[in-house]
Amino acid sequence: MSSEITVLSTIIKRRRSIFPISYTEEEIPADVVRQILESANYAPTHKLTQPWRFVVFRRNGRSKLGNELARLYEETIPAEKFLQKKYDSILEKAMQASCIIVLNAQLHPDKLPEWEEVAALACAVQNMALTAEALKVGAYWSSPEMISQLNGFLNLWENERCYGLFYLGYHNEPEREAVRQPIEDKVRWIEE
């Protein structure tokens, strides 16, 4: 195997979701965040719509986002289902992360079905996750219910939609073995 495929395969197999509870207080430099974002820009995209759009929350911006998510949780959850622990966790998670990138897609309903744009965004996020792993930055894609109500807060454009939050932080988590069933269980070959 060439050294490139060995490196790529190692990073792919090593990538794991690393949750904010595991993040250290070390700040990720803006240049590292930009490097992670730059890799998103090379995801496959049908008709070159490049639908991925990102909003980066760092430093005090994290608390603004956390406060908005907590407010939306409190406003939208029925009183009998409200959990103070969950409310507090939303605020805490925002501050545990060094950076939170809001994952949006600019949809083009006149050109493509929504699922193709979402697939392109997911590919962009995978590029980001692999780049974060290569840079020893923990990453986690979260999609709480409140994201569907962030349009005004984020000043999203028409046909732009939020699909999640990408938490980033340096961490001290040990490497973990992937839990996957063999690929042979998931593939059918038709050759004749």
The letter for the amino acid at 73 is Y
Task: Give pLDDT tens digits for 89-140.
Answer: 999 999 999 999 999 999 999 999 999 999 999 999 999 999 999 999 999 9
In-domain check, residue 120 = yes
* Structural domains counted in the chain: 1
Q: Which domain holds residue 161?
A: 41-172
In-domain check, residue 161 = yes
In-domain check, residue 81 = yes
**Residue 123 CA: distances (Å) to CA of 39, 45, 96, 103, 186:** 10, 9, 26, 12, 20
CB of 177 closer than 8 Å to CB of 100:
no
Tell me if residue 136 falls in helix, strand or coil.
Answer: coil
Indicate if the pLDDT at residue 142 is higher than 70.
Answer: yes
Closest CA to 27 of 174, 138, 161, 170: 170
In-domain check, residue 63 = yes
Name residue 162's beta-bridge partners: 104
Tell me if residue 160 falls in helix, strand or coil.
Answer: strand
What CATH number did the domain enclosing 138 receive? 3.40.109.10
In-domain check, residue 50 = yes
Structure-token pair, residue 111:
């050109």
In-domain check, residue 98 = yes
Q: How far apart are CA 62 and CA 119, in angstroms?
A: 27
Give the helix ranges, DSSP H, for 41-172: 60-76, 84-96, 114-134, 151-154
Task: Give pLDDT tens digits for 6-62.
Answer: 999 999 999 999 999 999 999 999 999 999 999 999 999 999 999 999 999 999 999
Confidence of residue 176 (pLDDT cuts 50, 70, 90): confident
User: What pLDDT does residue 177 have?
Assistant: 84
In-domain check, residue 68 = yes
User: What pLDDT does residue 2 have?
Assistant: 78
In-domain check, residue 187 = no
DSSP3 helix / strand / coil % (the chain, rounded to 5): 50, 15, 35
Indicate if the pLDDT at residue 1 is higher than 80.
Answer: no
User: What pLDDT does residue 188 have?
Assistant: 96
